[in-house]
Amino acid sequence: MHHLGKLFILNLLPIFMLKHKSPRTRGKFSFSRYFQTFKPGDSIAVVRELSIPLGYSIRLQGRTGKVIRKQGEAYYVEIKDLNKPKRYFIKPIHLKRIEDAK
């Protein structure tokens, strides 16, 4: 029973870690992350920027996927939820490029 409690807490850790920003950084964000560009096929991870609303559930935090295309200011991203691929429009400030494991 004790191990299940640890496992439950470890699964929720990324959500708890991103609830607040420090007082000095509250309301500020990185311009380089705001204007970063991705190409179709790039691997990305969803990393919420707390100063700007994401518009989706916080369960998306930490998920990985691929960029399909750019549409307006946002990117059309495919992320697998268990085995079912789902597609979202996410602004680049909430995305982080990751390297493909080859």
Contacts by 56-59 with C-beta closer than 8 Å and gap 24+? 56/88, 56/90, 58/15, 58/18, 59/15
- Is residue 49 classed as helix, strand or coil in its secondary structure? coil
Percent of the residues in the chain that have a pLDDT greater than 90, as a whole number = 43
Of 8-12, 51-55, 57-61, 88-92, the poorest mean pLDDT is in: 8-12
**pLDDT digit string (tens) for 26-76?**
778 888 888 999 999 999 999 988 888 888 888 888 899 999 999 999 999
At residue 19, the pLDDT reads: 74
At residue 46, the pLDDT reads: 93
Radius of gyration of the chain (CA): 15
CATH number of the structural domain 2-97: 2.30.30.70
What is the dihedral sign for C-alpha 71, 75, 78, 81? Answer: negative
